Structure 1
Amino acid sequence: MIKTHLTVLEDVASKSARSAAFRIPELDTSSNRVKSWTTITYEEFYRDVETFAKYWTQILGSNNIPQRSIIGVWLSGFLYTDVLHIYGLSRAGYVPQLFSIRLPNPIVIYELMRRAGASALVHDPSFSNILGDSPYFTHAAEDVRRLDLQHLRLRSLPDVTSEDLAFVFHTSGSTSGSPKLVRANYRWLSSALEKSHHLCYPCSPQRQDVTVFMGSMCHIAQNFMFLGTLQHGACTVQPTVLKYSPEELKDMVTRCGLNRLNQFASFLGNQLRASRQDSRLLSMLISLDDVVYSGLPLPREEEQYAYKHGIKIRNLFGSTEVGAMLLSGGCERNLSLVAPLPGTSYRFVPTASKSEQNQSAHRSNAELFELVILSESPDCPDVSLRHADGHFHTGDLFQEVMSGFYLYRGRDDDWIKSENSLRCDTKAIEDNARAMCGTLIAECVVVGTGRPSPVMFIEPGLEMNQDKLKKDIFRKIRLFHSRRYLHEQIVSPDMIVVVAKSTLPRTATKGNIRRQAVEEMFRLQIDDIFARVR
């Protein structure tokens, strides 16, 4: 029998029925602050999953949608009930195709469903008013825990092989206006269970670990981390918002017993900076058994601050296509270096030949290696995502600082990662702006690493009023951006910055605009833009 998220849940629910599986916030309506944290046990969680499975069996079955059909799931992914819908659909025998709530355009959802061969769409109730002309059967994802479904029979799960689909994810950045499908089969899921088991191994056998949502269950990061939490019977706290405040973090430690913190680097950096003026917060961060960050490199200053104060920090490197790949903590001489997780088969391939390395004027560029996931690695993604050689080329570059230990050195393409660690295709935005705006733009570059959304810097092609120029450009690119993830959208003319010709820093040889140099050169101006829109 294949080990899956469902077999793990059944096993944990039988062994640790009364243990807490979730802590859910109850808000005070007058202050909007957490009044209390409700406990959901593993017994309740397992029962709720079966209730939701019965519900979806009835709804989808009555519409002649057979088991093993792909069902689109368009939810926030931040709520306990979202977990129930995802796991409930799996238990009903369907294959969830998970959409981020950050995809705001239903046309893109329909296109992705068509490409995946999906049969229906389960959606957040707030989307009902924009799905009236859907070409698919749609149904709102309501909380059905209070419904009496005892009379309904729960069907047996259909037999599957390791090559059958378990989930369909999507890359967090858009390519050609649309994310890529990431088909995850049961072989991949088995590998994810093994890797997450290692990553989330209990800190102490004497007590239950308590961790926290790091993102949406509709994205691979939280979905993957929850597999590890689940296997070890740990408890997951649902915060009020993803970017929760230092005060809420302290509350989760005090009242929920949080001892393992998982956060994207941008959000963890906020906690570390706040702890410089908050000794109680610093003390709590030091007391945590494990602090894992992912998505983006943590600024060196923040990393060193954490190490200096004894915060038990680890860097987890991963992607939507593969899940977690590399983890720090195994090299005592340099705690920021990462190495492959056990049970994987990777190769670090030099990006330049020996002769090219010897001729390079920049030593930092001479010893870079691309991370390649070999076809025999159990976490190698679907063949549709692999290179012609049969392997998956990540495009992520590393420097081997010590034998077997690597330092991340960025990507070989034109992607940046936003504040919530989702990827943004800057080249597609730049190409669209050039195509749509013609003579209005002489040159442009998109920046925004670690920011909520991108900012576009342009050198004008015509002499005209800057405000009018920005509004004209925004009007011409608006349709393109309406189809993209929220973290990829130029959301207003304020996100367009006009600078004088030849202002943007360029490379000496080819004259290409240096994206990172633009980020540094205009950092204060970018800070001011986002300070105004918050």
Structure 2
Amino acid sequence: MSTYIGLTHLSILEQAASTYPSRLAFRVPQLAAGSDVEVEEWRPITYSQFNLAVKLYAKYWSRTLTADGIPPQSVVGMWLSGLSYVDALHIYGMARAGFIPQLFSLRLPNPEVILELLSKGDARALIHDPSFESILRDAPVSVHVAVEVKDDDVEDVPLPELSAPQSAEDIVMIFHTSGSTSGSPKLVRCSYKWLDCMIAKLGVTCRPRNQHVQDVSVWMGSMSHIGQTCMLLGALQHGSCTIQPTKIAFSSEELMDMVARCRLNRLNQFATFLASHLRASRQNPKLLRTLADFDEVLYSGLALPREEEDWAYQNGVRLRNLFGSTECGAMMLSVGGSGAHARALRPIEGTSYGFFPVTPSDPEVPHQNANQQLLEMVILSASGDCPDPHLRSAVDGHFHTGDMFVEVAPGSYMSRGRDDDWIKSENSLRCDTKAIEDNVRATCADFVAECIVVGNGRPSPALFIEPKAGYADEEKLKKDIIRRTRHFHSRRYLHERITSTKFVFVVPTGTLPRTATKGNIRRRAVEDMFKDMLDGIYGMSF
């Protein structure tokens, strides 16, 4: 049988280490004594050092898992923050050792759900953050702590041979949807064909604006999710440097420090975090100049608030919007520039997408005007980034994203939201609001007449309820809701949970805005009506 030849994350790392051995691949913060925010030094790590460290970790995991009787090509769960350079070494080192990483975020902290997903992925072992050691003692698979590996730990261990996959459809890594369906996330199995397409797309997305200057960008999110995984694929191809910030929601002061000491020239952030810098720049001319001087400011996950987006364009910030998903990675990129359609999105070259007319079931899905046909974005089965067959439609074999657009110019589209009940949190992870509402109705039917979940762009969701007649004790009602729904929320990601009464709002019957035809509560209208109250409870404005 002939082997599949295509690009992988390991092959582009090898190529980068050969082409740019002394170029910086990472800058890692070394904090001042007694501080968790003050950076004493941004430690440089070259491409050759990164590549050697990946091989070091590969030796470690090869020896460790082989001793457990686990052969190469086995699935190995990795429950890590994904926010540090050492996490990147574990993930890439595990792949270099010949295993298939199944990646879990720390935002899913329930070991019961993790073990269920490991079983679904046929995983043979679990590598975890040290903080989970006490709750995994009775796990049914081999369990190991993700320790920092030193040279002398594997001094006499041979580097495993790097074997090529037999087929383009072989699985190279496994992610999970960022929202829970039926009590847990879905597995997103990624093939070598999918990864090869991802690398090609990120080669376009992350192409430097100035070929004579090394791009320096900043960590976007957890490598246990698809966003930062993609950004690193782009950085490796172009020999770019990636800064590990002290936290993903880093301050504007840290942003300017990274510019001054690390030569940050290209900002990649989720929209919620970028919006905070744009708001701060209204009172900080130096910060505004910093944002305008970047070669590119790329945001993803959510739409920017229109006010902040307008401010950015008016002040010369080179803004680009990257539209993507866990299942397909990066999919569309905004036109950019200053033309009439600068904000419109276009599919990344090399993909095969369809935009098919639909009639929305949700009357709130916004249209710009009556002459614009609403279109659903569909990833055609012929497209290299079409996800695993079990995620595709059984009817036509394509992947239906559920994302709605209107075509504003030939091949250029503007987003019109989704035709479903999902919202996105501040870090762009998804939350099924209907599942929460259904659980409240099922467990609290004796005192809840109506309810709606909101929280788009917020750290977590909030629940508004209209109580049945006779229930006047609001605090008791809130506590009863939290108590009865506790088990349901314990199985969900942190960004999907409602576990405090401060995120439960009781309003009089008939307060929540409804549609004129069916009388359904209007989620977006509730968000707008109670915006000030929500801003207060979250301590933010978005």
Partner of 1:104: 109
Distance 1:132 1:365 in 2: 61
Out of 388, 395, 399, the residue aligned to residue 392 of structure 1 is 399
Q: Deviations over 1:217-250 (max 9, x none)?
A: 0100100111000110100000000100000000
Aligned to 1:56: 61
1:89 counterpart = 2:78: no
**Is the counterpart of residue 435 in structure 1 residue 442 in structure 2?**
yes
Instruction: Choose the corresponding residue for 1:214, options 217, 220, 232.
Output: 220
2-structure distance, mates of 1:290, 1:330: 10
Please give the alpha-carbon distance, in whole angstroms, between the structure 2 residues aligned to 1:347 and 1:37. 44
Query: How far is 1:277 from its partner?
Result: 0.6
2-side partners of 1:58 and 1:448: how far apart?
46
Matched, 1:415 2:419: no
C-alpha distance after superposition, 1:293-328 (max 9, x if no partner): 000001111111111111101000000000011100
1:12 aligns with 2:26: no
Q: Are positions 1:144 and 2:152 aligned together?
A: no
Kindly indicate whether the alpha-carbon contact (under 8 Å) linking 1:214 and 1:221 is maintained by their aligned counterparts in 2: yes
Q: Would the alpha carbon gap of residues 375 and 173 (structure 1) be closer, same or farther in structure 2, given more than 3 Å must change?
A: same
| Aligned AA (1:515) | R
Matched, 1:72 2:72: no
Residue 365 of structure 1, CA deviation: 9.1
Q: Which amino acid aligns with 1:50?
A: K
TM-score (norm 1): 0.97
Contact map agreement 2:424 2:430 (CA 8 A) in 1: yes
Code of the residue aligned with 2:164 in structure 1: it is: D
Aligned pair in 2 of structure 1 residues 522, 152: CA closer, same or farther (>3 Å)? same
- Alignment CA distance shift 1:362-1:380 (3 Å): closer
Match of 1:124 among 123, 126, 129: 129
Q: CA deviation at 1:30?
A: 3.0
Aligned to 1:167: 173
How far, CA to CA, are the matches of 1:361 and 1:335 in structure 2? 19
Match of 1:490 among 473, 483, 498: 498
Query: Are 1:214 and 1:263, in contact at CA under 8 Å, matched by a contact in 2?
Result: yes
Could you tell me how far 1:403 is from its partner in structure 2? 1.6
Aligned with 1:28 (options 29, 32, 41): 32
Is 1:503–2:511 an aligned residue pair?
yes
The answer to whether the 8 A contact 1:48-1:145 is kept is no
Amino acid at match of 2:172: A
- Aligned residue number for residue 49 of structure 2: 44
Shift of 1:186: 0.2
2:471/2:477 contact within 8 Å kept:
no
Partner of residue 308, structure 1: 314
Deviations 1:362-394 (A, max 9, x none): 945962100000000000000000012100000
* CA distance in 2 between partners of 1:363 and 1:104 (Å): 44
Distance in 2 between residues matched to 1:312 and 1:7, nearest whole Å = 32
> Is the alpha carbon distance of 1:177 and 1:361 closer, same or farther for their aligned partners in structure 2, counting shifts above 3 Å?
closer
Query: How far, CA to CA, are the matches of 2:368 and 2:132 in structure 1?
Result: 51
Query: 1:335: how far off?
Result: 1.2
Distance 1:442 1:30 in 2: 51
Separation in structure 2 between the aligned mates of residue 40 and residue 379 of structure 1, nearest angstrom: 31
Q: 2:431 aligns with which of 407, 413, 424?
A: 424
Which residue is 1:444 aligned to?
Answer: 451
Cα deviation for residue 479 of structure 1 reads: 0.8
- State the secondary structure of the residue aligned to 1:111: helix
Q: TM-score, normalised by structure 2?
A: 0.95
SS in 2 for 1:147: helix
Residue in 1 that maps onto 2:268:
262
Aligned residues: CA RMSD:
1.6
1:526 and 1:2 mapped to 2: Cα distance?
48
2:244 to 211, 214, 238: 238
1:530 lines up with 2:538 in the alignment: yes
* Amino acid corresponding to residue 278 of structure 2 in structure 1: L
Greater CA drift, 462-471 or 477-486: 462-471
Match of 1:349 among 349, 356, 362: 356
Contact 2:13–2:236 at 8 Å: present in 1 too?
Answer: yes
Deviations 1:7-56 (A, max 9, x none): 11111101111110000001112343111100011111000000000000
Larger deviation, residues 83-92 vs 395-404: 395-404
Structure 1 counterpart of 2:385, from 367, 379, 386: 379
Structure 1 distance, partners of 2:313, 2:370, is 25
Matched AA of 2:264: L
- Confirm or deny: 8 A CA contact 1:440 1:473 kept in the other structure: no
Aligned amino acid, residue 502 of structure 1: G
Structure 1: distance between partners of 2:427 and 2:288: 23
Instruction: Select 1:182's aligned residue among 156, 178, 188.
Output: 188
Q: Per-residue displacement from partner, 1:40-91 (whole Å, max 9, x unpaired)?
A: 1111100000000000000000011011100000000000000000000000
The CA deviation at 1:2 is 2.4
- 1:146: how far off? 4.3
Task: Describe the SS at the equivalent of 1:463.
Answer: coil
- Identity among equivalent pairs (%): 56
Instruction: Note closer, same or farther for the CA distance 1:31–1:140 as it changes in structure 2 (3 Å cut).
Output: closer
Cα distance in 2 for residues equivalent to 1:361 and 1:111: 41
Unaligned runs of 5+ in 1: none
Tell me, yes or no, if the aligned pair for 2:319 and 2:336 is still in contact at 8 Å: no
2 CA distance for matches of 1:146 and 1:470?
Answer: 55
8 Å CA contact 1:329–1:337 kept in 2: the answer is yes
Look up the equivalent residue of 1:476 and give its one-letter code: R
1:237 counterpart letter in structure 2:
I
Structure 2 residue runs of 5 or longer lacking an equivalent are none
Kept in 2: contact 1:505–1:514 (CA 8 A): yes
- Do structure 1's residue 282 and structure 2's residue 288 form an aligned pair? yes
What is aligned with 2:484? 476
SS in 1 for 2:446: helix
Conserved? CA contact 2:80–2:129, under 8 Å: yes
Moved over 6 A (4+): none
Worse-superposed segment, 156-165 or 523-532 = 523-532
Amino acid at match of 2:99: Y
Q: CA separation in 2, counterparts of 1:421 and 1:322?
A: 15
Q: Deviations over 1:109-143 (max 9, x none)?
A: 01111111111000001110111111111000000
Counterparts of 1:228 and 1:376, CA distance in 2: 23
Residues 491-528 of structure 1, C-alpha deviations (whole Å, 9 max, x = no match): 20111000000110000001111000000000011111
Work out the CA distance in 2 between the residues paired with 1:287 and 1:109: 43
